[in-house]
Amino acid sequence: MPHLAPAILHADDALIVTVKPAGLLSMPARGEDRQDSLEGRLRALYADARLVHRLDMATSGLVLFARGPEMLRRLNLAFEQRVIGKQYCALVHGHLATDSGEIALPLAADPDNNPRQRVDLANGRRALTRWRVLARSGEGESALTRLELKPVTGRTHQLRVHLMSIGHPIVGDPLYAPPASAAGHPRMYLHAASLALIHPQTRVPACFESAVPF
């Protein structure tokens, strides 16, 4: 699928920053038809590339790779210590009542609806998302809000489930938005737009940005 070719935003001896298109897996999944992935394509160019974190197949934007096992260890530790900052942009249904806020709802797998996740107040893992309104448009059923999102934690489908849980699913989300939303839009409108980190070799702060394609 050449139309899903990733862009390499930055590459050096320690890390690689790529821009994943929507519709491409971050890493191979089960099934012969799900082997094509960002990880596989990048390893064809850089044999020592190691995926540090993933984006959902339907999400586009910045993905970080390490060069070799030692850089992978350092970057994984940075993620665990939450010193790597990620920022997303999303278009959601409806108008949020306030201009900023946070969603603190624990999440767990939904065993009856794999791969969906769900809010689980009793047994879920802590999950925190901060959001800020960038713009509002439309009215009634056509009302939309553009959001800046900052996930403090990194749970599976966190942004998607959190926004759905407060009544504002992401436009085009095939799992958590109403069926008409996915059917009426060419993709899910969620993009990883910014990635800030301390370079694991030079220890110099670095920030990478990707233009939002919607």
Residue in 12, 36, 48, 56 annotated catalytic? 56
Residue 143's Cβ-count burial label (10 Å; 0-12, 13-18, 19+) is middle
Q: How far is Cα 178 from Cα 191, in angstroms, rounded to an integer? A: 20
Q: How far is Cα 193 from Cα 122, in angstroms, rounded to an integer? A: 33
Catalytic residue status for 56:
yes
Query: Cβ distance 191 to 210 under 8 Å?
Result: yes
Rg (CA), the chain: 17
H or E stretch at 50: strand 49-51
Who contacts 185 (Cβ-Cβ below 8 Å, separation ≥6)? 171, 172
Among 93, 59, 60, 61, which Cα is nearest to 170's? 93
Question: What is the SS3 assignment for 64?
Answer: strand
Catalytic positions are 56
